[in-house]
Structure 1
């Protein structure tokens, strides 16, 4: 039986990747009451999204290939893992931006979380830090952990 991702002790999370994950960053939230810098804008659907121009300034998107995890900020539940590979002409930043804009294939789930007044965060593990194929990294974490929004999980 696979462990819920948020129940895993990161110290044991694939020792070869230790210290290579970015921290979680809030990229979607239900309101912008506390947006002092003007970094958020309305998204197609409910809530607000971090502007792409502000995402581009973050080190966590400084690479094309990699995997990313989505987490609900308030519950700390890690709900989804995905991948982006340069062979698909879609960088990690492009993929995260798609989710933030219209939800992509997770639109219903994302809108529900935002309607409930919760925010969504993302963190990434880039191939340039691991030297490993993004598809293989995704398969490895899906085999080990349970992500409720992944159909393969």
Structure 2
């Protein structure tokens, strides 16, 4: 009888050991699953960061291109007529759908040209030679284009 009891106890111990082993295996599997989920989340976060960086870089390059376009637009060429009146013409690079035309008028010495140059170059510019005839300046914004037509303020060019 004692041998039977001993065998039963041994079997019980073995079954308990097997249960413990199974629990350990299950915990390992759960731990691996948790680790995989964490790794997947980290990968997703890294991809989102990369996308954010790429978008920022694209915005920076677009802004750089826009400023280059503006610089090209304001280079212009001076054309001199027979009566020594010089006219500086600046034409837009690309016709845009949202094009706005603005007429700039004022007396001589009022600072119309300085204001336009300040808008175009984002810096203050003083003492520009008087405008002879008219001056066309194009400024591109993100979604539209503004074309300023400045008419000289000296008496020969005034119609008012």
Same fold (TM over 0.5): no
More strand by share: 1
Q: TM-score if structure 1 supplies the norm length?
A: 0.29
Which protein shows a greater Rg?
A: 2
More helix by share: 2
Q: TM-score if structure 2 supplies the norm length?
A: 0.28
Select the structure with the greater relative contact order (CA < 8 A; seq sep ≥ 6). 1
